């Protein structure tokens, strides 16, 4: 229960290429919320493909050599491998060469660029990644990683955990729509789900007490001015068979929510709903014509 001396702070900052919003309830909430935003930037410095000194950039240019990385990066890579396996390859962090080929080399917020070796290619399996006991990691030659959405989700999870360890009574870490929430009670906070087809339209309002929420869209990094219509999921098979253009998934963490949105978008909608349901996840799928499909469990997060 929130104490009489607790206050609510809501602060925001541009980081990781998105608007990051931190809401904290507790004593010294404003200072803690600002510290959380500092952690977003710290994690960005480790995982951004647009920063040459980041762990991800160094791994991508190591040409297969073992590379020392931060403990948080080890956690990220473990999540990448687990998510790739759980989603039967739908989540694949090695698609960066396809994104670069489609024109997605430059940051959306500054003039930083991603440059890959000519040998960089997409891998269908992550089994070649080696994680050593001394904290070093090696990628197979030609493999490159992109933290992308799962990075934002995991960052939200890690920062929420930090805020709670510092005594926060309720927290919401929202990194561009990837949200980790713990309200400290059973009531929860409202989250508006916007349409990927028309962002002015609110498709639904859900209430979350604890867990993760993530939304992915084929238009997430859309830049018509650069001639790029859509390249978040850039393999041609997705465009040949895909009808779902956006998905929101509720899970026990933001990282897992984010990973399963990729499965939802890259799969046949009926199969996706069945798989998400059997996995115990709540989801909302949006087709190109604006039609929405929900798992049966979605309604447990809605209210009148």
The domain that contains 233 carries what CATH number? 3.10.520.10
What per-residue confidence (pLDDT) applies to 237? 40
In total, how many domains does the chain have? 2
Domain that includes residue 301, residue range: 185-304
The token pair at 215 is 């939304």
Is residue 135 assigned to a domain?
A: yes
Indicate whether 116 and 227 sit together in one domain.
no
What pLDDT sits at residue 157? 98
Domain end call among 122, 146, 170: 146
163 falls within a domain: no
Give 155-194 pLDDT, tens digit per residue: 999 999 999 999 999 999 999 999 999 999 989 999 999 9
Under 8 Å between Cβ of 143 and 67: no
pLDDT digits (tens, 9 = 90+) for 31-81: 999 999 999 999 999 999 999 999 999 999 999 999 999 999 999 999 999
Same domain for 197 and 300?
yes
Q: Is residue 173 part of a domain?
A: no
Asked if residues 281 and 250 have their Cβ atoms less than 8 Å apart, the reply is: yes
What tokens appear for 264 in the block? Answer: 């939802």
Q: Indicate the pairing of strand 202-208 with strand 7-15.
A: unpaired
In a domain, 255, yes or no: yes
pLDDT band at 213 (very low <50, low <70, confident <90, very high): very high
pLDDT on residue 220: 60
User: pLDDT tens across 13-27, in order?
Assistant: 999 999 999 999 999
Same domain? 303 vs 189: yes
Query: What CATH number did the domain enclosing 104 receive?
Result: 1.10.3980.10
pTM above 0.85, yes or no: yes
Buried b (16+ CB within 10 A) or exposed e, 182-204: bbbeeebbebebbbbbeeeeebb
Which letter, b or e, does each residue of 86-117 get, where b requires 16 or more Cβ atoms within 10 Å of its Cβ? ebebbbbbbbbbbbbebebbeeeeeeeebebe
Domain boundary among 146, 166, 197: 146
For 175, phi then psi, to 5°, come to -110, 85
Residue scoring higher pLDDT (29 or 114): 29
């Amino acid at each position: 229960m929130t104490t009489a001396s607790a206050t609510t702070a809501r602060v925001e900052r541009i980081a990781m290429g998105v608007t990051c919003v931190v809401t904290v309830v507790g004593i010294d909430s404003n200072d803690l919320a600002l510290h959380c935003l500092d952690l977003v930037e710290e994690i960005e410095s480790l995982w951004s493909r647009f920063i040459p000194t980041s762990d991800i950039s160094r791994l991508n240019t190591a040409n297969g050599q073992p590379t020392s990385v931060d403990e948080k990066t080890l956690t990220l890579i473990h999540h990448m491998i687990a998510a790739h396996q759980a989603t039967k390859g739908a989540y694949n962090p090695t698609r960066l060469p396809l994104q670069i080929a489609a024109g997605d080399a430059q940051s959306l917020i500054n003039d930083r660029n991603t440059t890959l070796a000519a040998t960089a290619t997409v891998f269908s399996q992550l089994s070649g990644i080696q994680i050593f006991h001394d904290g070093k990691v090696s990628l197979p030659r030609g493999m490159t990683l992109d933290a992308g959405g799962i990075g934002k989700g995991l960052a939200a999870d890690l920062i929420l955990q930090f805020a709670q360890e510092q005594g926060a009574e309720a927290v919401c870490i929202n990194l561009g729509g990837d949200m980790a929430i713990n309200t400290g009670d059973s009531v929860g906070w409202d989250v508006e789900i916007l349409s990927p087809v028309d962002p002015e339209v609110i498709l639904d309002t859900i209430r979350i007490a604890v867990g993760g929420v993530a939304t992915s869209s084929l238009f997430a990094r859309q830049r018509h001015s650069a001639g790029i219509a859509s390249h978040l999921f850039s393999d041609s098979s997705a465009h040949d068979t895909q009808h779902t253009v956006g998905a929101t998934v509720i899970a026990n963490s933001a990282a897992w929510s984010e990973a399963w949105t990729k499965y939802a978008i890259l799969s046949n909608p009926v199969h996706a709903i069945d798989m998400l349901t059997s996995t115990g996840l709540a989801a909302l799928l949006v087709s190109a014509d604006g039609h929405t499909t929900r798992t049966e469990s979605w309604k447990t997060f809605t209210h009148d």
